[in-house]
Structure 1
Amino acid sequence: MRAAVVLLVAIAVAALVWLAVTFTARGPQPVAAPTTGCASPPPPRTSIPRFSAPGPSAAAAAVGTWGATLHTTCGDVGLELDGTDAPRTVASFVQLARGGYWTDSACNRLTSYLSPTAFLQCGDPTDRRAGDPGYGLAAENVPPGGRYARGTVIMGRGGGLDTTSGEFAIVYRDFTVRPGDPVYPVFGRVLTGMEVVDAIAARGGEDTRPDGRPFRSISIRSIDVARR
């Protein structure tokens, strides 16, 4: 009996020693990040369309909801656009999508985990943060308290009260805007393909920057829109 107890103790000690050695050698293993296959980014645009005003009319866009599919180099992302609460923004989005404004354009801004915000921003066909479709939009449908939920689609912001009209972003993690910081109009939500955005966000920004280009490049090839 005593020999059996001694043997069990020896086995237990040996197991603990093995675990300690293994953990010290390998260390804690990181959680696997979401993965998605991405094609090579398209070449830079040589010409960009411009528009005199957003269209279709805000009244037409306000009837029901719209569906949009972002065809990206990393997979499709399906959106639902809220024409009721953000009619002017949705009207503008429909026009720019149908007019090819975002064809072969990079998503060149990611606010990473070091930033107080959390979104992937797209919509600048110049790839130099200098895109301009030819008009601006007043901010509409800004959430109370500056709270943004994962999967929300928002408009980019310029320095003034008007949005940039051409740039939009997808929120990949809940966040609340700090007092005094810019707020963003909401005009839709992601229905499918959120894993595409998650994979980009998981890789973070270049040089671990909290606000800059995403480490894994992603570009919009085209956008389809249709009334639901």
Structure 2
Amino acid sequence: MKAGSQSNRTARQRLARKEAKQAFAQELRHRRLRDNAFAGAAGALVLALAVALQVFWFSSNPTAGDLAALKQEAQAGEAASAIPDPSLAAGKTITGTLVLNGAEVGVELDGTDAPQAAAVFKSLADSSFFDGKECHRLTTGEPMGVLQCGSRDGTGAGDPAYQWGPVENSPADGSYPAGTIAVARGATGDSHGTQFFIAYKDSVITQETGGYTIMGKVTSGLEVLEAIAADGVADGSRDGRPSTPVTIDSFTLK
């Protein structure tokens, strides 16, 4: 082999190695640039996502008023779903006992003429809702004499989260004979709640706003209510808290 050929071949090999090193170095630079770009984009994406989440969180963070409204709506929804269907009492005669201050009053609810009311009060009684509740109102004037019970807190306040309707079996002439058990309500026919009243004497109640549902009657023990009424109203008026505190010991229906 000639010396000149050997020299040329060596030169070409060196050049090839140099070009290979340069190509490898360039590839490394491309990779670093690509990796940096990806990392930057990923970082930007994470930052953007964090900002977006922060904006979403704060923009959707409710105020105390919003939370109260949402809670009330939820309670109303739960209460509405808790109202028993009138079919549960339709066509039935439901009997039971109301115990006031240890004295028994026999009662009967009319599921034929007042199925919704009968179903509601049977459900409330079955859950022991009335046990320990006070009868907060007594009227002794003419033409109405009733004892009203069933307020959740014993003050006579209604429960806005538990309302139902409509008015059933309301007498056109406003006559509520002694022993009548009727449902108290608010201003409208769909504002019944957990309160009821018992007429201890023949009473006439205005029907101007739609009347009141007669859901049943006293079958025994009317004298218990008459004795409570005889003690009068606590402040000496004809409409207010009874002089003798009245507590529902139990209310059972079957």
TM over 0.5: yes
Written as runs of structure 1 = structure 2, the 5 A alignment for 1:179-218 is 180=208, 183-218=211-246
Greater relative CO (CA pairs within 8 A, separation 6+): 1
2:155 is aligned, of 115, 119, 128, to 128
Superposed displacement of residue 68, structure 1: 2.0
Structure 2 counterpart of 1:147: 175
* Higher share in strand: 1
**1:115, 1:211 within 8 Å by CA — same for their partners in 2?**
no
Q: Deviations over 1:102-121 (max 9, x none)?
A: 11000010011x24311000
- Structure 1 residue 89 corresponds to structure 2 residue 94: no
Q: Which has the larger radius of gyration?
A: 2
**1:104, 1:125 within 8 Å by CA — same for their partners in 2?**
no
Alignment: residue pair count: 175
CA RMSD of aligned residues (A): 1.8
Quick one: structure 1 residues 51 and 73, their matched pair in 2 at CA, closer, same or farther if it must change by over 3 Å? farther
Identity of matched residues, %: 37
- In structure 2, the gaps of 5 or more residues are 1-77
CA distance, structure 1, for counterparts of residue 93 and residue 191 of structure 2 = 21
Task: Report the 3-state secondary structure (helix = DSSP H, G, I; strand = E; otherwise coil) of the residue aligned with 1:221.
Answer: strand
* Higher share in helix: 2
CA distance, structure 2, for counterparts of residue 107 and residue 176 of structure 1 = 21
CA distance, structure 1, for counterparts of residue 231 and residue 221 of structure 2 = 17
Superposed displacement of residue 215, structure 1: 0.7
Task: Report the 3-state secondary structure (helix = DSSP H, G, I; strand = E; otherwise coil) of the residue aligned with 1:144.
Answer: coil
- Structure 1 residue 101 corresponds to structure 2 residue 129: yes
Q: Deviations over 1:34-83 (max 9, x none)?
A: xxxxxxxxxxxxxxxx844322x311201320012112214011101000
CA distance, structure 1, for counterparts of residue 216 and residue 207 of structure 2 = 24
Superposed displacement of residue 204, structure 1: 1.1
- Structure 1 residue 64 corresponds to structure 2 residue 92: yes
**1:157, 1:182 within 8 Å by CA — same for their partners in 2?**
no
Task: Report the 3-state secondary structure (helix = DSSP H, G, I; strand = E; otherwise coil) of the residue aligned with 1:94.
Answer: helix
Partner amino acid, structure 2, of 1:89 = A
Partner amino acid, structure 1, of 2:151 = D
